[in-house]
Structure 1
């Protein structure tokens, strides 16, 4: 038993380097949010430019996740992971030296491409390296580091923007990536997915589906849900998605084997992460603004006041992963999502235009405990479904659903906010904020339903 639980040097290197890759991607995603005002001032960016500073990254990230996973399976996960780190680092440097808003948006697009390679292959390497009975523990550590990035992102963004300049948010990635890349090549064992060929028609169809769906979601608030642009993009995305599924049933080497969906753990787990990440991303987006617009804090103060939200995942996620190994995934997913939804409902009730900060600590902490329990468990449920050769494909699908959920969550919560609030006054913003957070709680309750569908034990397909 002790030998079964021992971790080899090779496994430790994979865990550390996969976690570093995830840390870079998540830290950058959240740190940028606190620098948008400074970017607008220095580059003369319009509101649309600021939106695309975020959306360009989200779009390329979500669209290419499955492609990154498929290419890693074909050409080697280690090799592509190192290449993704290099691309992400170079794009970060390009963001830092961007002379205009257009150049920054272009560099952010390339940065999203790098992130789309790094994230699924970090997860693929991790799951290929650790056996099923230790996978939950490893995913817990990985999730804890990712939670630390979420915890520190707004704080680091505020500190660097106020103490130095916004460019340092991007410069921070460069030395980390340049150190990590040769270590990956030297310390990580190469692994491949099942089959030796890719599916170019599948790649094109999936890319079309992802572009349509993400474009429609990120443009919904600005252009309107009923606009021809948004409706056309969403309908086109759905059509391409249907064609992609049809292609996967006939392809000799499918990007995403349809047999994976025969597993309730895979199907229900992907639905859970879609809803949970939608709720989580949208809630963080609005909580950070609530602390500034309604309660009057500056970016650094707002980042520091978000600490209870991220502290629980950092402390709990490693233990939650180990519990998933012992108890199974379903109890932790259901308990975690229930805790998170209660925390959000509590937050919606206590939020006012002059709410004392201490009244927010309890619901943020409860919410953090909830998703810290759920995320490692649902990750293990999804990626442990298939045979070892399918891990990359399962990881890519999981990452894609996570990013689509993020775009869906921000779009849905923004629509809920606009229906009952504005940015005109603290009270008006609070009205919209409470509605948006209530919708986030509702998305999580729907996630509980799907979480209950995850079987107590599931077999590989």
Structure 2
């Protein structure tokens, strides 16, 4: 194959991978604005609204690492295609569901399919590129992830207003089919040594996490004993990982102080920010009677602030000041949430813009510092675990913030919790700012 043609082939294959990644990550947030409209159409208890998002990110989070192992075993391009096909079918099922229960089930299948797709991206990019081209290709993942996360609620609002809530899911069908048609550009790749699947560890992680999240949806309920059961299963999972001959994560990741700090910071930060983008549309639509387009557009200043601050942090602030920039970002995020509490809903546009500025200012130095001391053989496990904890944080945030709003009828308690989580995140990531922790 001529060099020019090979070059175009590789970048076209990268576009296929990034489209699939954007499609899967976008669905983690796209129903946050559409949720009340879905509930109005399908009926059922109001507590189902947070589940429309949480039931997607929960299997997405807990199956991410297992999805990576399946790619090692059976070939990353093959598992990628299976995941995309499953995602398309689940999206179609979501679009035609006639009851809340069926939609929640189809969303869970969507999340599990996404967990097959996302872990293959890095391995397939490494199989396509090397040298300087590899660095450029890998550098494209971060902006795609960030853009997908922040445009989800806006796109969900606009599609629901212009067409129907079903369009939120139907948009995945032509995109997914195009990805499948172009997946022939991908080069098959698998691990040099075949790892074993830790099915027991996966089952413990799934059950423990589900039991932790379920009571958070309805904080006024009587199911708090499930929290203890979930915590016990996750502790058992930890002991199992230490004894397992084929653990889901590299145990050596926890021997240096910085990585556990990064996991704690990721859980707290993404719990606060994903919960924020859940509770604002709920308050506007359920509390104030705003339409779905207004709810989506209200989040636009947050998206704009995140885009501007991500660019500024990556090009100017982090090269000059290093990981200390994280704390400026968390301070801005806290200030934006407190301003929203103090000034009320009329201050949301500028308060959310401040929150967006804080989010972008934090995430760029955070991910750089989180993986700074990770060794080459730990990279895949570290990236998978960090991504899984990010999705888990989002799941907890959606469940907890949505539950607080439904039980109190106001966003004040949820926003106060968000500010507290942000302060806790600042304490958690302190080791990342020191030379020793990094």
Given the two structures, how large is their TM-score scaled by the length of structure 2? Answer: 0.85
Task: Give the Cα–Cα distance (whole angstroms) in 1 for the partners of residues 113 and 79 of structure 2.
Answer: 10
Q: Does 1:338 align with 2:354?
A: no
SS of the equivalent of 2:374 reads coil
**Within 5 A, what are the aligned runs for 1:247-266?**
247-266=240-259
Pair 1:276-2:275 in alignment = no
**366, 372, 381: which one pairs with 1:393?**
381
Aligned residues between the structures: 432
Which residue of 2 is the match for residue 409 of structure 1? 397
Alignment equivalent of 2:360, drawn from 368, 372, 383: 372
Give the conservation status (yes or no) of the 8 Å contact 1:144–1:315. no
Superposed, 1:76-225 pairs within 5 Å as 76-122=75-121, 141-187=140-186, 190=189, 192=191, 195-200=193-198, 203-222=199-218, 224=220
1:303 is aligned to 2:296 = yes
1:449 aligns with 427
How far apart are residue 165 of structure 1 and its match?
A: 2.3
Measure the CA separation in 2 of the matches of 1:180 and 1:329.
38
Q: Are 1:209 and 1:236, in contact at CA under 8 Å, matched by a contact in 2?
A: no
Deviations 1:9-56 (A, max 9, x none): 687557544432332123323332333344345444444555544343
C-alpha RMSD of the superposition: 3.4
| Residues 272/327 of structure 1: CA separation in 2 closer, same or farther (3 Å cut) | farther
The answer (yes or no) to whether the contact 1:62–1:210 under 8 Å persists in 2 is no
Checking the alignment, whether the CA contact within 8 Å between 2:209 and 2:234 is kept in structure 1 is: no
Change (3 A) 1:324 1:69: farther
* Structure 2 residues without counterparts, runs of 5 or longer: 1-6
| Inter-partner Cα distance in structure 2 for 1:349 and 1:168 | 36
Q: Given that residues 324 and 433 in structure 2 are in contact (C-alpha distance below 8 angstroms), is that contact kept between their aligned partners in structure 1?
A: no
User: Displacement of 1:309 after TM fit?
Assistant: 0.6
Unmatched tracts of structure 1, length 5 or more: 1-7, 423-428
What is the alpha-carbon distance in structure 2 between the residues aligned to residue 45 and residue 416 of structure 1?
A: 18
Q: Which residue of 1 aligns with 2:4?
A: none
CA contact (8 A) 2:308 2:357 kept: no
Counterpart in 1 of 2:416?
Answer: 438
Structure 2 residue matching 1:454: 3-state secondary structure: helix
> Does the residue aligned with 1:297 lie in a helix, a strand or coil?
coil
Residue 362 of structure 1 aligns with which residue? 350
Alpha-carbon separation, structure 1, partners of 2:14 and 2:307:
16
